Amino acid sequence: MNPVDHLMVSAMELLPRRWVRPFAMRYIAGEKLSDAVSWVKRLNSDAMMGTLDVLGENSKTKEDTLLAAKACQRVLQAIDEHHLNANLSVKLTQLGLQIDQELCHSNVREILGIAKAYTNFVRMDMEDSSTTSATLDLYERIRSEGFENTGVVIQASLRRSEQDVKRLIEMEANVRLCKGAYVEPEALAFNSREEIRLNYLKLLKMLLGAKCYVGIATHDEFLVRKAYQSIQDMKIEKADYEFQMLLGVKPVLRRSIVADGHRLRVYVPFGEHWYTYSLRRFQENPRMTRYILRTLFSRKE
């Protein structure tokens, strides 16, 4: 992020939350599970799948992790009750990864067991680079315990990701491949758009070539076109991949992907912890940040 964009995001953090909320809700289904269910029903009616996510991360106490695990279980129950074409995404720090890894493991096992009973799937999301190794270790442990209804995320911006993909290929992992939303030091991450794009395409071809199921998570139309080409050249079956996008981002593009005959899933976050998530989205999209600040301050004049 360039210094001007960084300054703008810092300015956003100083604004009252009530000013930011109307813009943040572009990316969030709402604060309640019922809001998320309504959104997924709309997506399903448009031939799109959903992934529900209970917002929150970095739980501080065991009690908080247990509450988060119960919230995830309620999501799985709601998906089943409402016959939604959707699955669940979880953040491991919300479930105790940085408190006690055994506690996190226990929470994840319980959620996966419930998901398995509903014939559903749980994605272990990836967070900042300080959690990458622990996340992959937990994923590998869970898989070794016989849970096949789970996948993980790889961020193309991280320099280590090629080696991580090689490890995941050995497990025949289900992988969501994204650029990465976290601001990381240059020693750990590629910082230029072109470097990230090139690494994304390299990792995508590795995963597709190894017959891993891939969630091609991007809003970059260049990468979408290149993914189309790789799918065609490698003769990948439509059942072996899907495109993935975030709620509120490029709805025209997502409709185009579906119209072109590809499966597409939309990430549908909800919950009380909307503010932190929204700031990360604004970091990814400085143009949106400029628009918000311009709109807010023009109203104050």
* Active site amino acids: 125, 176
Q: 261 phi and psi, to 5 degrees?
A: 95, 15
Please give the C-alpha separations between residue 25 and each of 88, 202, 274, 279, in angstroms, as whole numbers. 20, 34, 8, 12
- Which stretches of 118-219 are DSSP H helices? 132-144, 161-170, 193-209
The β-bridge partners of 215 are 176, 242
Q: Of 84, 80, 18, give the one whose Cα is nearest residue 45.
A: 84
Please give the C-alpha separations between residue 263 and each of 19, 25, 174, 245, 266, in angstroms, as whole numbers. 36, 25, 15, 11, 10
Amino acid code (one letter) for 156: A
